[in-house]
Amino acid sequence: KQEVTQIPAALSVPEGENLVLNCSFTDSAIYNLQWFRQDPGKGLTSLLLIQSSQREQTSGRLNASLDKSSGRSTLYIAASQPGDSATYLCAVSSPFNDYKLSFGAGTTVTVRA
């Protein structure tokens, strides 16, 4: 069974600092990996999707890397802003799991003004 772990569980940084969020998974036979953002009381918003054949994806201040062989992905958020405060979830899908998503528990980020 695929296990997804996100470390740290919570992170507090001053505005302007770069954020580094880690995600690890136990089974490297993934189809793709997706990073989501969830604001309190809201739904999940997709940030980046990395296909299994890709090494990284970028969108604005966000960059996500994927190292399938070591079972790791990292989400970098440059020059953090208070508006980046949210919970960030990592999820992987696999054809061996009928393409269902396996979620990490999330990292809750607070950016202090």
Handedness of CA 6, 22, 62, 92 (dihedral sign): negative
Residues touching another protein, count (CB under 8 A): 24
Q: Is 45 in the site for another protein (CB under 8 A)?
A: yes
11 binds another protein (CB under 8 A): no
Residue placing its CB nearer to another protein in the complex, 80 or 102: 102
Q: ω into residue 8 within 30 of 0, thus cis?
A: yes
Does 7 bind another protein (CB under 8 A)? Our answer is: no
Integer Cα distance of 78 and 19 in angstroms: 6
How does strand 10-14 pair with strand 107-112?
A: parallel
DSSP 18: P
To another protein, the closest distance from the beta carbon of 17 in angstroms equals 27
Stretch that binds another protein, among 11-19, 60-68, 71-79, 102-110 (CB under 8 A): 102-110
β-bridge pairing 19-25 and 4-7: antiparallel
- Residues of this chain that bind another protein (CB under 8 A): 31-32, 34, 36, 41-46, 49, 51-53, 89, 91, 98-101, 103-106
